Amino acid sequence: MRRAERLFNLVEYLRRHRRPVTAEAMAEDMQVSLRTVYRDMQALSVNGVPVRGEAGIGYVLDPGFDLPPLMFSVDEIEAIILGMQFVAERGDPRLATSADSVIAKLTAVVPEKLKPLIADGAFFAPDFGKRQAALIDESLVRQAIREERKVQIRYTDQAGEETTRAIWPFALAYLDRVRMVAAWCELRNDIRHFRTDRILEMSELRERYPRRRTALLRDWKRIMSDSGG
C-alpha cells in the first residue's frame, strides 16, 4: 500500500474512533509495524492534521476535522480522462460503464474553468486493434480476483486441446490483442496464463483459494522478472 493511501486510511481510522487509540492497537488493526504507526502519526501532524497523542493513552483526532476536497491539476485531469477513455474502449461492459461514470463525476466536481477540458473531448484513446472477443463475462473474473475465490474453467489451448481446470485467478492483463488471466492452476500445480477468448466456460466454485492474492502476485512478478517478461 502506498504511503499516501495509508495516511488517508489512518485518518479515516481515527475518525471512526472517538476515544484515544493506542499505537499498538492501530498497528494490529492496520497490519503495519509499530514503527510505521509512529512515523505516520508524525507525518500527519507535520501536514496539519490535528492529531493529539499522550503516552500510555493513545491518539485521537480532533472533532470536526475533515479532509479537504480533492483538487486536481490540469495534467491530472487530462491523465484521468485519457485513462478512463482507455478503459471505456478496452474494458468489459461493466468497466466501460464505470469509466463513463468516473468522467461524469469528475465533470461535476471540477471548477467551471476546467470543465471544457472534459467536455471538449480533446484527448482520445481509440482502439484500432483487432482484439479477440472474450467468451465469458470478464466482470466475473474481476470479482473472483477481488474475493480471492477459485473458479472452474473449460479451456482450449493453442493446439486446440480442451481441458477442465480449477484455477485461482489473481490478475487480469489487458494486452493489445487479448486479455490474459494470471492464475494458479491446480491441474498443472503452477502459475499459468489463460486467454479469455479461449475460456469456453467459467463457473465460481465459492471456495476461497488457500494463498493470499498478494503472495501469488509477488511470486508471479518474480517469475516474470526472472524470465525477462
> Residue 163 corresponds to which cell in the numbers above?
481441458
Q: Are residues 221 and 154 in the same domain?
A: yes
Q: How many domains does the chain have?
A: 3
Q: Band of the pLDDT at 169, cuts 50, 70, 90?
A: very high
Q: What is the pLDDT of residue 144?
A: 96
Is residue 67 scored above 70 in pLDDT?
no
- Higher local confidence (pLDDT), 155 or 122: 155
Can you spell out the DSSP letters for 78-118? HHHHHHHHHHHHHS-HHHHHHHHHHHHHHHHHS-GGGHHHH
Q: Which domain holds residue 10?
A: 3-61
- Higher local confidence (pLDDT), 169 or 25: 169
Q: What is the pLDDT of residue 116?
A: 81
Q: What is the pLDDT of residue 9?
A: 83
Per the listing, cell 488457500 goes with: 210
Q: Are residues 170 and 220 in the same domain?
A: yes
CA 196 to CA 128: how far, in whole Å? 19
Q: Is the pTM of this model over 0.85?
A: no
- 66 within domain boundaries: no
- 127 within domain boundaries: no
Q: Give the residue-averaged pLDDT of 52-76.
A: 76
Percent of the chain with pLDDT over 70: 94
Q: What is the pLDDT of residue 175?
A: 87
**Contact of 165 with 187, CB cutoff 8 Å:** yes
Q: Are residues 161 and 209 in the same domain?
A: yes
- Higher local confidence (pLDDT), 120 or 78: 78
- Higher local confidence (pLDDT), 188 or 130: 188
- 67 within domain boundaries: no
Q: Are residues 156 and 216 in the same domain?
A: yes
> Residue 100 corresponds to which cell in the numbers above?
463513463
- Count CB-CB contacts under 10 A for residue 177: 10
What would you measure as the largest C-alpha separation in the chain, in angstroms?
Answer: 67
As a whole number, the mean pLDDT across the chain is: 87
CA angle 90, 91, 94 (to 5 degrees): 145
- 48 within domain boundaries: yes
